[in-house]
Structure 1
């Protein structure tokens, strides 16, 4: 079972609302169970350079079933996943802002957000994920 388009629209709406609250335009991506892009939104004035990053954060969160923030912490020099960002043709993102979406304890998709500082990206991604689970 995968996140649906209707659910993705609600996820993006919640994420956009949070981005507006913090005053930071964001790129927001939702992928399905297979890591395929389901929905993407670029808020007005969001960084163009962050489009690909948001999509890849969502893909990474689904590909490894872990928040990209946590993966980043585990991939520092000397840690067990050091260098992982170079795998998968460089698609792996190790910046905060990618969050798996779970249904009944199983990952069924992910959200990726980019356009601000890591804490901002993470807060917006979490708001989207909470709309899905809550």
Structure 2
């Protein structure tokens, strides 16, 4: 990646952190994500973390693997304040340098949860393709 592109990325203003997501809110967005997955017959695991990447809620649909990837993707989205697709896209274009960042799982499917303009946690879906994971996670966010 060129220095000018890196500088442009660094200049982006990211949202600030707010109060951590509640378990009740985590359940609402996880239920919406799970409903979307079920509508497509995509069995997945859904993870919601707080702003520090600590697990708040986890749900695994029947006939899917126990997915630590969902937890790790949600933590990366919370800690680095961006969807994990951003890491995937950079890695695909610039090579594996991105994989050296602690706690980064460069796979689509996780998004920061933003309420009142502040990050309160993150939501991830895992078990399908990256695009399927993103569809389910975005459906969860839409429930907020």
SS of match in other structure, 1:70:
helix
Residues 1-134 of structure 1: pairs in structure 2 closer than 5 A: 1-48=19-66, 51-78=67-94, 82-88=96-102, 91-132=103-144
* TM-superposed deviation, 1:72: 1.2
In 1, Cα distance between equivalents of 2:94 and 2:86:
15
Task: Structure 2 unaligned segments of length 5 or more: list them.
Answer: 1-18
Could you say which structure has the larger radius of gyration?
2
CA-based RMSD of the aligned residues comes to 1.4
User: TM-score scaled by structure 2?
Assistant: 0.82
- Aligned-pair CA distance for 1:86: 2.9
Measure the CA separation in 2 of the matches of 1:28 and 1:4. Answer: 16
Give the total of aligned pairs: 126
Gaps of 5+ in 1: none
Distance across 2 between alignment mates of 1:94 and 1:107: 20
Q: Secondary structure of 1:76's match? A: helix
Pairwise CA distance, 1:78: 2.9
**1:65-87 CA distance string (max 9 Å, x none):** 000012211233537xx422233
Whole-Å Cα distance in 2 between the matches of residues 36 and 60 of structure 1? Answer: 10
